[in-house]
Structure 1
Amino acid sequence: MSHAFGRERQNNAKFDKISFNNARHASIKQLNQCHKATRKLSDDIYNSDGSLSEEAQYIVSESPGQFKCNKPLQEAVFTLDNCKFWYLNFVYNFLYKCIDVDRVHFCNMDTDSMYLSIAGSQIEGYKQGLKYVIKDQVFYDLHYKEWLPWDNCTVAEEKKLMSLTTESQGENIVCQAPKCYSLYNGNEQSDDIVSLVNRMKGVSEKKANLTTNDYIKCLNEGYNINVTTSNLQMKIGIMSMICIEKSALTGIHNKMVVLANGCCAPFMYGINADHYLID
């Protein structure tokens, strides 16, 4: 189910199955009622002695009439809501109570993840965690094992339910929007950047060849980056490769209301950026 503002809920997803087969498997799939189209891609290839080296390849498109979902919709909705509850539970009942939030900045947040910039020790490396920003050591020592992993803990203790674990760490991060960020080491001024993680929803980072410098240019200079994505589509028995140019990095965030100081607020009916007071 996808929800669009001002319209009824609708299912716009396509579930066509495209597979590559030899002649035997292609002929079997053509007998299926969900068969849509078949196209030959290559001929048989023979060796010099007449033996078959490689069979002919066919691409078969199928459009199943039914789909099986093993999980009820209620479970998916509950999982999303439950994630948000435990997310806020960690922030308000642990982080705010024992961590100096003046030295911790929320860079990027998603349903089940958060990215923090921590102003800790300048001597120790970037893998220091929350060690140097604790304001209530007694509360932290009493409750941190309920939420966080610790040194020499087991895998089960590290990945326990309703808790957090460290996915990746770095010296710097550039966040433009949810699911759009670059984590890296080094300094952009000295041009010694080492990219650790690049994320951009809707675009393959490897195919787009996005680098950390692209994220920095987009943020500082309003630099727009377009990439071309390719996919196969079959209509009326004709297979076509469709190339679509997408805006990978634009610096435009249209999922939330962006305020003048860069903070983001959720969409609410009748409320725009002018209604928020910024100190």
Structure 2
Amino acid sequence: MDDQKLADDVYAVQMNPETCACKTSLQVAYFVLDNAKYWYVNFIYNFMYKCLDMNKLHFVEGDTDSAYWAVSGDEDAGHKQQFKYVIKNQQFYDENAKYFFPTIEGDLLDEKKILGLAIEREGTEMVALAPKNYYIKVGDKEKIKLKGVNQNTNKITKEQIMDNITNGTITTCTNMRLGQKNYQMSKISTEKNGITGCHTKAIVLSDQSCCPYVFGLKASDYMVQ
């Protein structure tokens, strides 16, 4: 159920639709769910490491089936140059890129092909705290992704994210929603930590490096040099 505040005591309420449209086939959806992480590292180690200069690439943020990379290419080529200026093995790239990237511009089926990759966003600046928790500047627009936080009622800025990295400042947020029980509509307020250094999918070290969970190891067992 979606709601929009019109006045102090007036809300516009819209029930979620009972049907939805999906352009992704069930075969693709289930394949991504089952094999995303394997194909994720397969692309990195069997393609990127073999034909791209990894000294000019920095992994910024990733999730189940997405990855954001900082690319140090040609500063005069603009932010949509992709990997063009960091290719170290052009022959390998030309022979294998077609298996990953779209080859037909504007063709949705080609873009959605099984095991294929597509560009989600391209920008000039990005700061990430965790998966689904980042700031990116795309052209003149700024995009902040903060899972679990209603940004319509909580003003989140890049400065708050940077303050968390620099000073460890935690930003609390309040989510407001409408709930109905026994035919009685109520306004429910939920307070949560919106920006925090806590990362539940990896161990974050003092220099913001993310290390995998290994049984018996704590953050203090890792060394930062």
Alpha-carbon separation, structure 2, partners of 1:206 and 1:239 = 21
Alpha-carbon separation, structure 2, partners of 1:236 and 1:81: 40
* 1:118-166 CA-partner distances (Å, limit 9, x unpaired): 0000111011000000111110011101111247463322232111100
Aligned Cα root-mean-square deviation (Å):
3.2
Alpha-carbon separation, structure 2, partners of 1:217 and 1:76: 38
**Aligned equivalent of 1:227:** 173
Which residue is 2:142 aligned to? Answer: 196
Give 2:199's aligned residue. 253
Partner of residue 267 from structure 1, selected from 206, 213, 223? 213
Corresponding position: 1:86 with 2:86: no
Distance 1:276 1:77, change over 3 A: farther
Given the superposition, is the C-alpha separation of residues 89 and 249 from structure 1 closer, same or farther in structure 2, using an over 3 Å criterion?
A: same
TM score, norm. by length of structure 2: 0.78
CA shift, 1:238, in A, is: 4.9
Q: Is the 8 A contact 2:153 2:176 kept in 1?
A: no
1:135 aligns with 2:81: no
1:235-272: CA deviation from partner (whole Å, max 9, x where unpaired): 56654322122211123324321234322122232121
Asked whether the equivalents of residues 227 and 246 of structure 1 are also in contact (C-alpha less than 8 Å), the reply is: yes
Correspondence for 1:163 = 116
Gaps of 5+ in 1: 1-17, 20-40, 43-74, 187-193
Cα distance, 1:184 vs structure 2: 1.0
What TM-score comes out, normalization by structure 1 length?
0.64
Aligned-partner residue type, residue 174 of structure 2: T
CA–CA distance in structure 2, aligned partners of residues 123 and 96 of structure 1: 25
Q: Quick one: percent identity of the two aligned structures? A: 37
Partner residue of 1:102?
Answer: 55
Conservation of the 8 A alpha-carbon contact between 1:199 and 1:205: no
Equivalent position of 1:10 in the other structure:
none
Shift of the alpha carbon at 1:228?
Answer: 1.3
- Larger-gyration structure (1/2): 1
**1:90 alignment partner, SS class:** helix
Give SS of 2:127's match. Answer: strand
CA contact (8 A) 1:170 1:196 kept: no
CA contact (8 A) 1:184 1:212 kept: no
**1:51 equivalent in structure 2:** none
* Contact kept? 1:231, 1:243, Cα under 8 Å: yes
Match of 1:208, SS? coil
Of stretches 170-179 and 230-239 in structure 1, the one that deviates more from structure 2 is: 230-239
Alignment of 1:143-162 (within 5 A): 143-150=96-103, 152=105, 154-162=107-115
| Equivalent in the alignment of 1:213 | 159
The answer for the alignment partner of 1:184 in structure 2 is 137
Please state whether the residue corresponding to 1:207 is helix, strand or coil: coil
